[in-house]
Structure 1
Amino acid sequence: MPRLALYTFGVLKAPLADPAPLTQEFYDIGETVYREIARHPGYLAHAEAEHGDRGSHFEADWGAWGEFAVPSWYDKGRTAQTTALAATLSLWTGLRPAFDAVHTGLHREALRRRHDWFERTGHPGHVLWWTPDTTTPTWQHGVTHLHHLHTHGPTPHAFTFRHAYAPDGSVGGA
């Protein structure tokens, strides 16, 4: 049975290392949001760095999730002091559980505040795609699917919650 991969990417208004209150607030709430999402029905796993420190996405060991990658349009820093991004990569049993987790609880509250923390880039902030149950998606897969979504719009290869596709490629959720 295929699993649903979800990649999110946003450009922060300030680097993660910035001690400004809004940056600190975003970083602090992230841990709590992750813990809540990890308990959500249908959640399978998410990419976690082996020994990642704040902002060290590019140097971290992500194991089976592969080397950290970002969309080509990301033009901010790549060091722990200058990285200004938030990215997630996760696996789900289906569209409904992922949608529910993203649009309820603490994550929903965080979504309401996204314009406080993130720049508006004109690019999609998330992409979904179906992956075989024997495959762990990589960061590069996420970037590739996000680029595809931006270039071609929603397709069975890369889609959004609003314009979803079932594993067989038909329009709609699973």
Structure 2
Amino acid sequence: MTEAIPVHELAQVNIARLKAPLDSPQLKDFIDNLDPVNADAEAADGFVWRLQSEEGNATDVPVFDDAWLILNMTVWRNTDTLTAYMYQGRHREMLARRREWFEQVKEAMTTLWWVPKGHRPTVAEAEARLLHLRAHGPTPYAFTLRTSFPQGGADPVPGDVPDGLGCSV
């Protein structure tokens, strides 16, 4: 029996609130490791795509109209390949240090969703998915690694998103 060819890929967005300006001494290690971590991701099994500006990363891409927020948005083959990358090597080391550079916020800052193979999500799409997760919890429309949904699951039209779901510390 042949394995079915996947028709979906996994989009993920991770947003973080900076503790200091990107060019500050406090964020130097983060900035110095950004290119190597991105190169590791691009070389990882299952990596498909990442959002980048002309700078080669996404630190200058606006999100939620808040200059203190930065985002990382990627597409992966599936949750297994994303998880394998996240918790190994240089990325794991940087993840362990995230509280040095980023505020701890109350709201969800990461979400996942399935996209048709070849689709590249926009920042507006990521914002909508993250707000949906905050308002409704994990659903097939927007979910987490801890509570994920299978590829090709229902993709409901999101309901109204209540006010006050921004990024408060």
TM normalised by structure 2 equals 0.80
CA positional deviation for 1:102: 1.1
Tell me what 2:4 maps to.
none
User: What is the rounded CA distance, in whole Å, between the counterparts of 2:57 and 2:45 in structure 1?
Assistant: 28
Higher relative contact order (CA 8 A, sep 6+): 1
Percent sequence identity is 30
Deviations 1:37-63 (A, max 9, x none): 1100000110111346895334xxxxx
Aligned length, in residue pairs = 148
Counterpart selection for 2:29 from 25, 41, 59: 25
- Aligned match of 1:136: 120
TM-score of the two chains, using structure 1 as the length reference: 0.78
- Structure 2 match to 1:37: 41
Q: Deviations over 1:78-126 (max 9, x none)?
A: xxxxxx3331111111110011111111111111111111101112121
Code of the residue aligned with 2:144 in structure 1: it is: T
1:14 maps to 2:15: no
Mapping for residues 54-133 of structure 1, pairs under 5 Å: 56-58=60-62, 70-71=63-64, 74=66, 77=67, 84-133=68-117
Let me know the Cα RMSD of the aligned residues: 2.0
Q: Does the CA contact (< 8 Å) of 1:16 and 1:54 recur in 2?
A: no
Unaligned runs of 5+ in 1: 59-69, 78-83
Q: 1:54 to 1:17 in 2, by over 3 A?
A: farther
Q: Moved runs in structure 1, 4+ residues, more than 4 A? A: 51-55
Alignment check: 8 A CA contact 2:46 2:78 kept: yes
Q: How many Å apart are 1:5 and its aligned residue?
A: 0.3
